A and B are shown apart, each in its own frame.
Chain A
Amino acid sequence: GAGVSQSPRYKVAKRGQDVALRCDPISGHVSLFWYQQALGQGPEFLTYFQNEAQLDKSGLPSDRFFAERPEGSVSTLKIQRTQQEDSAVYLCASSLLGAGAIREKLFFGSGTQLSVL
């Protein structure tokens, strides 16, 4: 597609359920970021992939959060045993080149809004 696609657009989960959020970056983009945006806050970094390699996962808030990008294209962010504090918009972003290319433009998806009841 023309942009970064995320699905589902909205997800409601009961506390304790596992959820999986999908990101389809722009075709050919090397870099992929996941961000978490809580209500009234700016996006906060979760993790970074360069192709299939997860080079930075320092922002993942707990071991309940897991991300993968097995073939270097589509990425999935999985949250196990969801808690109410996990409620947020999860944003995916991609860029053409790797992390060393600091001037590369970042393209964001529209996000998945997760509500944990």
Chain B
Amino acid sequence: AQSVSQHNHHVILSEAASLELGCNYSYGGTVNLFWYVQYPGQHLQLLLKYFSGDPLVKGIKGFEAEFIKSKFSFNLRKPSVQWSDTAEYFCAVNDGGATNKLIFGTGTLLAVQP
């Protein structure tokens, strides 16, 4: 069965620092990968997604992620974080089955200090 691992549970950064959140998945077939974000008090929303093509994908608010097939990784990056990036970040993969349900990681709570 597919699974997703997020290595960092809590990350604390100062504004303008660079961000990289790790995500590894266990599935050998074709995968569709996602990063979702949940700002305090808000619903989950899509940051970016990878289906095929260029392994470097760009999302909203300056975020990007790189799909490295050989490492089964899909790490999220942002060159310079802002206080407003404080949120919980979830990596997810489609299960590849008939319903295309998402398998989520446990999430990384990012706190950006002003």
**Which residues of A come within 8 Å of B, CB atoms?**
3-4, 33, 35, 40-45, 48, 50, 55-56, 59, 91, 93, 99-100, 102-103, 105-106, 108-111
Contacts and interface: CB of A to CB of B under 8 A. Distances in A.
Interface in B75-99: 90, 92, 94-95, 97-99
A100 B42 CA distance: 28
B105 A42 contact: yes
Contacts of B45: 108
Chain B, interface size category, equals: 20 to 34
Contacts of A44: 104
A102 B42 contact: no
A56 B104 contact: no
Contacts, number: 60
B94 to A, nearest CB: 6
B102 A106 contact: yes
Contacts of A106: 46, 102
